[in-house]
Amino acid sequence: MSTATAAGTLDAGVPDGTMAHGVALAGRAARALAELAGAPVRVGVDPDAVAAHVLLPAVLAAQRGEPLYARPPAPRRAPGPGMLAADLGAPGDEDAYARLLSTLPPGAGAGAIEVAAQLWRLPVVAYRGRPAGATRPPLAPARPARTDRAFGAGIDASPLAGVRVLDLTAMWAGPLATWLLATFGAEVTKVESAVRPDGMRGQPALFAALDRGKTHVDLDLRHAAAVDELRERIAVADVVVDSFSPRVMPNLGLDPSALRRLQPDLVSVSIPAFPPGSPQQQWVSYGTGVHAFCGLGDLGGGRYAAPAVAYPDPLAGLAGFGAVLHALVAAGRSDASGAHVDVSLVDAAAPLAQVAGPAGLARPVEPVAEDLVLRLAGRGFFDAAGLPAAPLVAGGLR
C-alpha cells in the first residue's frame, strides 16, 4: 500500500488530510534525524505508525481488547446561537461552568460564553465555520525515501545520546515530543508536581505510552526553592520543552532570554495551545478546542462534530519533535548560541482547515484502530506490554 493510499484510508474520526499532514511533519523530523545520525542515509516514514500516534487512545484500547476509550466531548449547545467545545473534565469544572452561565444573559451565544469562560480559565471554545475558500483537495504526502539501512544497522541507533532534555510538558502534545526524543537516546527528565500531576495520568495506558524512557523529578513550581532547583537543572540541560500558556515561563522568570542567560547554547521549544502574539495566546484549551477554533468540526448546515481523538495534540507533538531536531542540527552547523521555537496546537492543525470536506470525521475509528494493531504487530511497534516501543521514523520499511 502506498503512503498516500495508507494515509487517506486512515483518516477515520479526524478531518480529511490529517494523516497525510502527520506524515509530512514526521518526514521533516526524519530528515533532521538522519543528519544527526551522522551517516549518509535517507530515513523513511511509516504512515501506519504515524496514524497509530494520531489515533493512539483508540489504538491502545483496541490492542487491549477494550471497546471504549476516553473520547473528546461532543459539541455542547450554547443557550443562544452556536456550539461549544467544552473540555470540562477536571474536578469542579462543570460546577464552575454552571456558575459562569448564571452570570451571563439567558440567551448568551457561544462567542460570549467562550470569552467569559476564558476569563475564568475554563477550557471552553466556540465552534467556528471553515475558512472561506477551503476547497483544496486533501493533503497528499510525498512517498517516503527508500533506504537500505535501518537504525541499528550501520548508523547510530541513538543519535541523541548525551542530549539532556528537561520536559515541562503535560497531557499529549509535549509528552509525545519528549518521548520521541527519549526513543532516540536523549536523557529526558520530566518535571512534575505530586500536588498537580500531569492530567494524562487519568488515562493510565496513554500516560504510560508517552512516559517511557523518562526519569522524573517532583518540583512544585509555586515555591521559590523549586524554581531555583529548576534553574540549576536548566543550566546543565541541552533542551527544554514546555507546554505552558505563554504567560507561565515569564512569570517564573524563565522567558527565552532568561533561559539563554542560564545556558547560552540551550534549545527551548514551547508547545502552547494558541500562537504567542495572537489575541488568544493566553487562552486555555486542549486539542478538541483547537479543532473547534480552526473550523475543522464544521460539517456544514450549522452542524458540528467532535473528532474521535484530539488529533491537534499529536500533530503538535510531531512538529515539536521536529523543531528540536532542526534546532540541534542548526547548532551543529555553526557556532551560534541556542534557539527558541514556538509550536502551537493551532499552528500544527491550521493547514487542515484549507482541505475541502470533513468526511473523515464521520468514519468510525474503531475498525481502523484494530487494523493498525494487526498491521504494526509484525513490525514490532508494540511490545509485550502493549505500549508503543518503536520509533515512528525508521529506515528499511519498504
Cβ burial 73-90 (10 Å sphere, 16+ → b, else e) = bebbebeeebbbbbbbee
Task: Sketch the domain layout of the chain as residue ranges.
Answer: 3-71+135-280+305-377
**β-strands 187-192, 267-270: how paired?**
unpaired
The CATH class of 3-71+135-280+305-377 is: alpha beta
| Residue 262, all three cell numbers | 542560564
Report the largest interatomic distance among the alpha carbons of the chain, rounded to a whole angstrom: 67
Q: Cα(261)–Cα(255) distance, rounded to whole angstroms?
A: 10
Per the CB < 8 A criterion, the answer to whether 239 and 269 are in contact is yes
Nearest to 284 by CA among 127, 126, 121, 169: 121
Nearest to 83 by CA among 336, 308, 304: 304
Query: Which residues, other chains included, contact 23 with Cβ-Cβ below 8 Å and sequence gap of 6+?
Result: 3, 7, 45, 47, 50, 141, 144
pLDDT in single tens digits along all 398 residues of the chain: 444 445 556 889 999 999 999 989 988 888 888 788 775 555 667 788 889 999 999 999 998 888 778 899 999 999 999 999 999 988 899 999 999 999 999 999 999 999 999 999 999 999 999 887 665 555 544 444 333 333 333 344 578 989 999 999 999 999 999 999 998 889 999 999 998 899 899 889 899 989 989 999 999 999 999 999 999 999 999 999 999 988 999 999 999 999 999 999 999 999 999 999 999 999 999 999 999 999 999 998 899 999 999 999 999 999 999 999 999 998 876 655 679 999 999 999 999 988 767 888 999 999 999 988 887 765 544 443 444 445 554 432 22
pTM as predicted: 0.90
